[in-house]
Amino acid sequence: MSDYNHRRRDDRNDRNYDERYIKREERRRKERLKKRRRNRIIIVTAAIAILVAIVLILIFSINSCLSCSGSSSATNATKPTSAATEPPTEKASNSSVKEIADNGKEGQLDEKSSLYFWDNKAFELFYGSNNTAKNYADTINSLKETLGSDITVYNMVVPNHSEFGLCPREANKVKTEQGVTSQRDNTTAVYKNLSKDIKPVDVYDSLNSHKTEYIYFNTDHHWTGLGSYYAYTTFAKAAGITPLQLTAMQKSTIENFLGSFYTSSQSDILKANPDYVDYYTFSGYYICKLFTQGNSDAIDVGMYNENIESDSSAYEVFLWGDNPLTVIDNPDIASGNKIALVKDSYGSAFAPYLAYNYDEVHVIDFRYFDGNLAEYCNANGIKNVLFLNSIMSANDSTQLTAMKTLISNSGTGSYNTDSTSTIGGADSSDYQTTNSSDETYDDSSTNENTDGNYSGDSSGNDYTDDEYSYNDDSGYDNSSEDYSYNDDSGNDYSGDDYSYTNE
């Protein structure tokens, strides 16, 4: 009846009227729905626009407040630190680092020895590349794979002194005139190419922040006991251990040290400006067993050769120089926490500090060790391995070949740890003990040379009369114990530590 009432009088007899009426109402209903949807979209869009505007206003207000607080607030803002397993930034730097003072003198390259002389110091220049850095990282990755997942592996590459010891003017000069490459870039390339299962220990910034201190020698390619200590504190952070404090150690000094750079150059300038060797002893009783090359029986010694003479071998005060295997036992620690330090000659100055933190420290010089590293670690319950190399060794193809023997060798090595003798008839209990009441350290003057600057080279190269060779078509023979290098550029650096051939 209601539908009938909607009809006009003249349509009441039209049979299609109801159908048309329903269709018309359906269209009207759909139009109303569309209109509602449009209104809702407009309302939501407007709300979002208003919300975005409010957020932008708040951000602008906050930035304005920060700007008003002054630049010192931005400078002092806390920056997030990277996890130990992450690679360093490509060019890590510290704006507060004190630069080496410029004395205004011009440095010179000595053609005879290929050393760069400036400010009464000698420097070994670096020519590594990303390719050589990757080759080193690949070698460490292979060693990690062989060691397995149960062993924590760390890797440290130590720059040499030419990266830190030159004033900015001279550093730019050797870059443009001598074609040296950045050690910051090279070590970064190493860490970036390491497996994620390896923990990089980047000591670049730590050494850079202390570069005006006596952390490298002037007449020798090694770092000093102080330089290796700063690297040790960086390792302690990565390993989660508490480092021994420098103030808790007693410092002793060997005067008049003329090292490898003097041996290779016979420079009168270096002879007139000799180095000294500081070494640091600390409280405790440490049993140190030394295995020399060609001898399977151990010798009981102290961690330091305190009877070493003040000559070109004075660096061997640290751990008695380079030997296939040295084991330091700390009886005061019974945790079973042991570490193997696989090293070139740089590790000799570094190893003693580890004895403060670990039950046992097994120091392995990969150039002379004849065992398989994985088998040796498993046989001795070692769960931590630190590979420590100077940057010169890390970029040296000959050194990498020597490191790979740690994989290809079989057995634990020809070392009888049950049979020991003592040097000079001394009992092992006489070695490496320090009365804590005598532990004093004063760094106010003894770590500063009379000219206020120190330099040296941390390449890990031992330049000795029978080990150092160099050939640059000049007829001069010059090499070292830790470094050989080939970067596919036609420059071949080879030798036991270092030799260089420029065709």
Q: Tell me, letter by letter, the H, E, C secondary structure of 440-453.
A: CCCCCCCCCCCCCC
Domain ranges of the chain: 20-54, 111-438
Instruction: Give me 64's structure tokens.
Output: 């304005």
Strands 325-329 and 287-291: antiparallel
Question: Which CA distances in Å does 127 have to 136, 298, 311?
Answer: 15, 39, 30
92 touches 184 (CB < 8 A)? yes
In this structure, the dihedral spanned by the alpha carbons of residues 314, 319, 321 and 326, taken in order and rounded to 10 degrees, is: 170
CB contact set of 250 (below 8 Å; sequence gap of 6+): 280, 281, 282, 434, 438, 439, 440, 441
Report the run of H or E that residue 287 belongs to, with start and end: strand 287-291
Instruction: Give me 349's structure tokens.
Output: 């100055």
Q: What tens-digit pLDDT sequence spans the chain (503 residues)?
A: 444 444 444 454 555 656 666 666 667 777 777 777 777 788 878 888 888 888 777 776 666 554 444 433 333 332 333 333 444 544 445 557 899 999 999 999 999 999 999 999 999 999 999 999 999 999 999 999 999 999 999 999 999 999 999 999 999 999 999 999 999 999 999 999 999 999 999 999 999 999 999 999 999 999 999 999 999 999 999 999 999 999 999 999 999 999 999 999 999 999 999 999 999 999 999 999 999 988 889 999 999 999 998 788 999 999 999 999 999 999 999 889 999 999 999 999 999 999 999 999 999 999 999 999 999 999 999 999 999 999 999 999 999 999 999 999 999 999 987 766 655 333 333 344 443 333 333 443 333 333 333 333 333 333 333 333 333 333 333 333 444 444 444 444 333 343 333 33
- Overall pTM > 0.75: no
* End-to-end Cα spacing for the chain: 113
- According to DSSP, the residues that pair with 498 across neighbouring strands are 480
User: Beta strands of 325-477 (E only): which ranges?
Assistant: 325-329, 338-343, 360-365, 384-390, 416-422
- 449 exposed, middle or buried (CB, 10 Å; 0-12, 13-18, 19+)? middle
Question: Which CA distances in Å does 206 have to 27, 161, 225, 389?
Answer: 79, 13, 14, 16
- Nearest alpha-carbon partner for 326 in 306, 349, 308: 349
- According to DSSP, the residues that pair with 502 across neighbouring strands are 491
Half-sphere exposure of 431 (CA within 13 A, CB side): 27
CB contact set of 319 (below 8 Å; sequence gap of 6+): 290, 303, 304, 305, 326, 348, 349, 351, 352, 363
